[in-house]
Amino acid sequence: MKIINNYDIFYSYKLIGDVLIVSIFNASNEMVYKKGSLEICYQNDEVSKIRFNNISKVIKIHSNGLIPLPNKLFVDILNDILSKENIEFRLGYKEHSNYIIGKVVKLNIVDIGDTEISLVTKGANINDLVVVAKPNVRLATGVWTSTYHICSYADLHLDDDNKIFIIDEEFIPGTDFFKTEEK
C-alpha cells in the first residue's frame, strides 16, 4: 500500500463548494478518475490531486482555506473514505506543515535554521521573523510555490493583505510555523 506523505489540504465552501482538495503536486493535463464521491487526478500515472466531493456528509470542517497540519483523526477519516472506495493508497500523518520560520539576516538573505537562502525581503527589516513556505507548497491563495517563498497575510489566510507577515514574537529560525513554541 502506497502512503502519500507530502500533501496540502484545502477546503473553502465559499470558494469551491463542498469539496476538500488534497494536492500532492501541481499538474496540468490531468486524467481524472471518478469513484463514488472521489475524483482522483493523475499525471503520468502519479496521483497529483484528490477531490473529496460532498465531504460535509462525512465530517464537519470548521476551517476555511489551507489546513496545514490535519490531526490524525481527520486523516483517518479521509483514509477510511479511500479504503471504502478500494483506492490503492493512503495519506500519511503530517509531521511538518512545510511553513517554517525564517529570520532576515541581511537584505534578501533569510536564515531558515539549517541554511541561509536568497529571497526578496522587500517589506521586512533585518532581524524580522517571517514565515517561509518551502518549494512545491500550495499557499492559502491557491498559488503553488516553485521555490522558497516569504508569506504574506493572504498567503497564510490571515487577511486579504499582500503585505509580508512579520512575526512579533521570538522563535528559532527553521521551526515549523504551525507547531511553534516560544523561544
Please state whether 162 falls in left (phi above 0), alpha (psi between -120 and 50) or beta: alpha
Q: Domain check: are 85 and 6 in the same one?
A: yes
> Residue 15: its pLDDT value, please?
83
Do 76 and 106 reside in the same domain of the chain? no
Does residue 22 sit in the same domain as residue 64? yes
Q: Could you read off the pLDDT of 32-67 as tens digits, one per residue?
A: 999 999 999 999 889 999 999 999 999 999 888 889
For the stretch 72-103, pLDDT in tens is: 999 999 999 999 999 999 999 998 889 999 99
pLDDT at 180: 61
Q: Which three cell numbers stand for residue 103?
A: 529570520
Which residues constitute the domain of residue 102? 96-183
Give me the residues paired with residue 110 across strands. Answer: 104, 117
Q: Quick check: 31 and 41 in contact, CB under 8 A?
A: yes
Q: Rounded mean pLDDT of 99-114?
A: 96
The answer, yes or no, to whether residue 183 has pLDDT greater than 70, is no
| pLDDT one-digit tens code per residue, 121-180 | 889 999 999 999 999 888 888 788 999 999 999 998 888 889 999 998 889 999 999 886
Q: What is the pLDDT of residue 181?
A: 53
Q: 85 and 101: one domain?
A: no
Residues 150, 123 share a domain: yes
CATH of the domain at 117: 2.40.50.140
Query: Do 81 and 147 share a domain, yes or no?
Result: no
pTM: 0.80
The number of folded domains in the chain is 2
